[in-house]
Structure 1
């Protein structure tokens, strides 16, 4: 009994690997798990314009009118940096002192969230005794996604007054939404406050324009009034300015050496249209040129682009329903551009699957081609799961990475299927052939995969904003290469063994094996190509004259390739030209026109 057992173990080497390759249940379960994880990850991945920049940066700015850079450094930068340097999690402060202004950037540790960093920085600023003339001290987190998501034109056939009213209502309604941060309206007359009086009126009361401007700023700005602390968090308290309406401005008290006055006693304070506002026009469906307004919409921090865009478009449609004379035209949308990029990715994916399938069908057979084509979506699903694990979004960098990996992911499967087909045509048993393919190619393909992965590793180790920006490239490409190896050997190879056993009696085949056959006529063509290729290789290997010819051709090809960019025949540009469905035209009339 023991001897028999020993013989059976000797005839069945491979252990777990043989069991895995010979039992399609394992590969089927792996396929289903990968399918479920990939689909869930793809649906859950957020869509953004740019990659996530996981850096906590806070900008601080302040204005000190009339101060030199040295005075700004002494009066603003030094005391602010001294107070801010005690904040927890602060890595460094970079300050830039200019003529009358200060700009500082605070970089925090990655584990400090933006809201906490901003609250702590504002509380620290409120504790600093700044000069009384310092104003417009702002603390704001750096938002790398602060870009417009929608631009739309609005026009009203009822006239400019109705247009301004409707645009103002649309803008207010959008900014009420938690998904939309702000909306800019161009082309609509903007209001400005004008203060005018005869020069002698100012002179008699000892009021100068700089004094009046500084006094108005002080009355309009919010002033720090302490802070509220809870644990390690601090929230600053401010007192709102006393001037918020035209009547408040007219009643503004002025004290000079000549006496006490109110601004409205000697000056005219009115609100008028800003004459510098550029007009916007649109040609309606009937060919009439009408005044219009262009709305530029920005989403809130971390708000989904699709949801924010849908909210803005819903508000525009509601405004059209309320006002029959109002019309809106969508000029540009980030969400539409991203959907178009996804459509391009899908088309490229389908085209790649078709080309791979057709190529393998012609050369090795239908079933092998189907197995290789199956590997492409499976590898992508694995890449989506990795993106979900690393909290990546779908943006133009990750889309570029997915397209970059599209040409790499089929190599492993093609090698496996081709090698397996060659052994099966030699009448080898299916499982034994699969084991031989594993032994011969697993190590070599693993090394080539790791070599390519290592080539992208420096991108992953890059630091700073650029490092965060390009980090998705090595992650996505590494995921594609890794899953191409795992899917090829872990799913495609065992399923091919099961298919071969199903189509052959007892796993034995005779003659040429194709697992379903190739299109008629191609077998002879492939045989002709193989004979021709073998004949050419023999000449190159065994005849020196042919070797010298090959080296000469390669040298010429190498030199010509490098000469093309130098001669300008191949353009060298970082971003290639792109086709857009709209264009910009700029025209300027002479001053005397």
Structure 2
């Protein structure tokens, strides 16, 4: 056999062990260090390309909202450029229009154009409230928590605010919002007789209150000591603060104040919304992740802070965690680590049986190097560690191993022919370089179309090709430039493990020569029969989905952690009727829970 020296970059890297080791060290150490810097989240963070227009119209039916609000807004939005679709919803007392922004359009410009279009509508009913135009943004929830107990609505609301403030004292918790709680209001009730007595209207009183409950800047006065800023602080937030507002000031100095003609109280907005948990009044608190916070850090901070915060609240209140998304993140991370460990163990076992243990060890090391290198480059693409990117790592695990295995097996083949370790590594890697490169390219081409999926769904799945392509490229570098150098400088082993492996390998070679070889020659000899059998198998495989026995759906249906029942009442139904239906549903749900497992089945209703 010829012993001529190979040339080229692969041969150079094979002979010079320092450069491959430095490259491997950069990939591994850099990847490990970058794991502490990459942002961690449950789902990929992306912008929602939509603008929402909301117009409250108190007391109006859905038909009235559609005719007087929705149609007017849609007519003005026809001239806005960069709009892909307009979706409208008319509900009792409110109308909502969602403008989907065209892919590639400037989100901020479309938002401004929508604002201007809505401001041009002059046909809204007089009792319609100001339109709210908002550019949709996505928050990153971590925990859904319920605070519940036998307490009136006012006391529960105050307790929920105290709990929220206590949680926000933790530096790892930045945003907590109340959900399912009615907004607090100042109620001013004026009998019609009192209005007539003083010659007033509701509008006049409302104007005085509006002008008397604001903080106003009065400009500045320059003096020799410096500039003095003037400001009138008249903002009022409690009922008693409104009592002294003068409504009428007579010429003789007599003053009629609001408390003289009205009953002032603190209460809640008129809303047909009520939440209960296990038969008790409840308010939900949503805990979000902000900035560089991770789901696990936010969850740990909440569970550490919550007991002390609950101890400071009135007795009788309880806290229930409805959903902790950090658990999903932990499960996917554990699955990735578990699959990685199993994959490396299987690679070691299989290659140690068929080739050599040292070769198997370096191939397995190459897989870890490829993943570490991917983590090193991942932040440059703006990709985070999330459930989708971890799924991409699991997906890539079974593919990147092929490059190292094929390269290692080809090098082992040259060594079996009697070639020296260095030359065998250089020639084996060079011979397999083109097939490995084309294999990498075909895999990249297979995953790249995921980058072109439009909309929010496409923004989620675009993470997969980014992670997979990086893993493929690093795997290609490791298989052709790092692995051959390691295999070229291993030492011969003659221990018991080596003899066992050689015995297994010899037995497998006898199987190949005695069983597989004759079968392959027969298949080639009877090639037309072989082709016919393959066509028959292909037809059977294709006929299964074509016959309708195999269903096709966009997303698989998975079991949920919640069971939900919804009852729809006629428009205008009173709150008492809704509560009666709710009580019937709750009773039925409690009966089902009691009959099928009790506390082992459900945490609450």
TM-score where L is the length of structure 2: 0.71
Per-residue Cα deviation, 1:311-355 (whole angstroms, up to 9, x for no partner)? 433431331454695664444322232122101111111111111
1:408 is paired with a residue of what secondary structure? helix
Per-residue Cα deviation, 1:524-572 (whole angstroms, up to 9, x for no partner)? 54124312222211111112464255335423542354357x214x674
Aligned residues of 1:95 and 1:102 also touching (Cα < 8 A)? no
Per-residue Cα deviation, 1:161-203 (whole angstroms, up to 9, x for no partner)? 98665433112334567843332255x8976666667777789
Per-residue Cα deviation, 1:25-79 (whole angstroms, up to 9, x for no partner)? 2221111111111112222111123213257876565557889778769998999
Match of 1:35 in 2: 28
Match of 1:452 in 2: 443
Aligned residues of 1:77 and 1:102 also touching (Cα < 8 A)? no
Aligned residues of 1:143 and 1:301 also touching (Cα < 8 A)? no
Aligned residues of 1:360 and 1:368 also touching (Cα < 8 A)? yes
Match of 2:542 in 1: 559
Aligned residues of 1:73 and 1:97 also touching (Cα < 8 A)? yes
- Hey, what's the Cα distance between the residues in 1 that align with 2:120 and 2:537? 71
Match of 1:469 in 2: 460
Aligned residues of 1:372 and 1:414 also touching (Cα < 8 A)? yes
> Is residue 2:278 matched to residue 1:281?
yes
Aligned residue runs from structure 1 range 309-388, under 5 A: 309-320=299-310, 322=312, 328-388=319-379
- Hey, what's the Cα distance between the residues in 1 that align with 2:415 and 2:16? 18
Per-residue Cα deviation, 1:132-154 (whole angstroms, up to 9, x for no partner)? 9774454545322x143112344
Shift of 1:385: 1.7
Gaps of at least 5 residues in structure 2 are 220-230, 249-254, 566-580, 588-605
- Hey, what's the Cα distance between the residues in 1 that align with 2:531 and 2:543? 18
Match of 2:518 in 1: 535
Relative to structure 2, which stretch is displaced further, 463-472 or 420-429?
A: 463-472
> Is residue 2:184 matched to residue 1:184?
no
Aligned residues of 1:126 and 1:225 also touching (Cα < 8 A)? no
Match of 2:137 in 1: 143
Per-residue Cα deviation, 1:563-590 (whole angstroms, up to 9, x for no partner)? 57x214x674513425x6x544659544
Match of 2:41 in 1: 48
- Hey, what's the Cα distance between the residues in 1 that align with 2:362 and 2:256? 89
1:394 is paired with a residue of what secondary structure? coil
Match of 1:20 in 2: 13
2:399 is paired with a residue of what secondary structure? coil
Match of 1:574 among 551, 555, 579: 555
Shift of 1:405: 1.0
Match of 1:5 in 2: none
- Hey, what's the Cα distance between the residues in 2 that align with 1:78 and 1:548? 64
Shift of 1:13: 4.1
Shift of 1:422: 1.7
Per-residue Cα deviation, 1:394-425 (whole angstroms, up to 9, x for no partner)? 11221221121111111111111111222211
Aligned residues of 1:149 and 1:335 also touching (Cα < 8 A)? yes
Q: Describe the shift of the 1:561–1:71 C-alpha distance in structure 2 as closer, same or farther (beyond 3 A).
A: closer
Match of 1:172 in 2: 165
TM-score where L is the length of structure 1: 0.72
Per-residue Cα deviation, 1:197-249 (whole angstroms, up to 9, x for no partner)? 7777789999999x69986996799899999xxxxxxxxxx999966432466
Aligned residues of 2:53 and 2:131 also touching (Cα < 8 A)? yes
Aligned residues of 2:215 and 2:233 also touching (Cα < 8 A)? yes
Q: Describe the shift of the 1:319–1:548 C-alpha distance in structure 2 as closer, same or farther (beyond 3 A).
A: closer
